Amino acid sequence: MLELSNAISGDLDISFSNLFSFANYLLTAIGSWFLFKKCGVKGIWAIIPVAREYHMSLCADKEKEGRVYTIVSLLFYLLSVIAGVFVIINPVWALFMAIPLVGIYITLIIYMLKIYLGLIKVFDRKKKWLILFMFFEGITLFWWGVSSRFVPGKKVEQVSKNGAKELGENLSAAAEGLTINITDRTVIDFFKKKTLLKDIHLIIPRGHMVLLLGGSGAGKTTFLNAVTGYEKAKASIKLDNNDVYSDYDKMKYDIGFVPQQDLMRGNDTVEMTLTDAALMRLSADASVMERENRIANMLDQFGLTAVRNSLVEKLSGGQRKRLSIAMEFISDPSLFILDEPDSGLDGVVARSLFEKLREIADEGKIVVVITHTPDRVIDLFDDVIVLAKDATRTGRLAWYGPVDEAYEFFGKNSMEEILLSINQKDEGGEGRADEFVEKYADRIKEKVG
């Protein structure tokens, strides 16, 4: 923190203050080096300011705070340079620049304190250590680093660089149905490339209702977003030979996505909510009569006729969920995707909702559903997609096929047991994701030759 105060003062003279800062930097760097070794972080980061604080946040299990600290630090240095230029041009402007610099500097101190609080927690020490970190940062870090009395309760998680082997081949598009060939889906996350999904190939025939199963962070929502074209992956997604990605603007109306939360305006009526949905999603050439009929059908099909004039906020959880589904179904989409439609619903209401979805699938639609309580409604599904986090923490396909065969493949009797078998050990699972991903890849290779 002290080097920041030097930056703000712009003082470059060799003085006691600078000697003190150098000594503090040295103690901080050496202390952090040893501390990083204890946490399982590369020691080299200890000598680079800002990067050091970010890696300290990893040790402290406060990565979010570390990210903010890094970005704010970079902004601080940038503004300091600009203020330095202004000192030469016009001192009043430099003074003006000092206003945001002071604000940013206070933010940095607060975030550093948050990181140190996390560090104290990880090392299972008393909070009063924070005072020493505040006023004697270098010495305290040095002491924590070199003393064997300070041991972290947990180490920074090291992700393996090698995951389960890949299938690596695209499937030919089916004439009728949804063909998914995802090579990978990557994002740049805080200057690092991260692969969220990899090597997912499957074909869902029309009329099938499919369960999407996967543990937390396995990439279920990322998968659905990639399939719907909302967040494009390196992939080929075809619905009846139509490319979802290249024709996204037209095809998005043929894909219904019901989010987990009931995202509707609570202070509008049920009928007006559906009317607006119809206006937005139906063809502009549809007559008023056609539109009115479709709205009436939706009200009837989803049991909302009796509450058509009620405000959305007055509806029960089940009614609200049905309205949310009706809003998407009004355009009669071929592909219908629902993210946890049964969250917050009791067993009976949830069952009735899934029966409704089964009816929709029986109309020749493809229905894909995420649910965290699959076993109570599993008899209604045709197939199950199992996504699992492999050793590299990438979402991989561990199974796609009929429900009965899934039990046999995993050697389990319920979907919850399957989920436990693929979850990581630190999540309370059996940690067999890579095993099943490879087994499934071998099975597909055998099938397609």
Partner 1 sequence: MEDYSVRHRGRSSQTFIYLGKLFRMFLFQNDWKVLPMAAVIAGLVAFSVGANLYKTMEGTLMGTFALSCICIWNGFFNSIQVICRERAIVKREHRSGLHISSYIAAHMIYQAFLCLLQVIITIGVCMLMNVRLPAGSLITPWPIVDFGLSLFLITYCADMLALLVSAFSKTTTTAMTIMPFLLIVQLLFSGAFFNLPSEAMPFTNLTATKWGLTALCAQGDYNSLPMVSVWNSALKMKDVEVEGEKPLLTVFQEIEKNNMRDDLLMKTGELNQNHDYDFSPDIVLRCWAWLLAWTAVYVLLTVLLLENIDKDNR
Q: Rule CB under 8 A: which residues touch partner 1?
A: 90, 92-93, 96, 221, 230-231, 239-242, 247, 250-254, 257, 259, 261, 263-265, 267-268, 272, 276, 279-285, 311, 328, 334
H or E element at residue 8: helix 2-9
Would you say 21 or 310 has its CB closer to partner 1?
Answer: 310
Q: How far is the CB of 84 from partner 1 (least distance, A)?
A: 17
Q: How far apart are CA 3 and CA 24, in angstroms?
A: 9
Instruction: Please state the closest distance from residue 95 (CB atom) to partner 1, in A.
Output: 9
- In the complex with partner 1, the residue whose CB is nearer, 160 or 283, is 283
Of 187 and 306, nearer to partner 1 (C-beta) is: 187
Alpha carbons 34 and 142: distance in angstroms, whole number:
8
Q: List beta partners, residue 188.
A: 193
- Give 232's contacts (C-beta < 8 A, 6+ positions apart): 226, 245
Closer by beta carbon to partner 1, 220 or else 432: 220
Shortest CB 372 distance to partner 1, Å: 15
Angstrom distance (rounded) from CA 329 to CA 282: 10
- CA atoms of 238 and 229, how far apart (whole Å): 10
Closest to 391 (Cα-Cα) out of 435, 421, 427: 435
Question: Could you give the angle at which helices 63-89 and 91-122 cross, rounded to 10 degrees?
Answer: 160
Distance CA 259, CA 247 (A): 22
CB of 364 to partner 1, least distance (A): 11
CB of 126 to partner 1, least distance (A): 32
Distance (Å, rounded) from C-alpha 317 to C-alpha 342? 10
Smallest gap from residue 3 Cβ to partner 1 (A) = 29
Q: How far is Cα 364 from Cα 370, in angstroms, rounded to an integer?
A: 19
Choice between 124 and 247, CB closer to partner 1: 247
Shorter beta-carbon distance to partner 1: residue 94 or 210: 94
Cβ distance to partner 1 smaller for residue 12 or 289: 289
- Least distance (Å) from partner 1 to the CB of residue 278? 10
H helix or E strand, kind and range, residue 141: helix 137-146
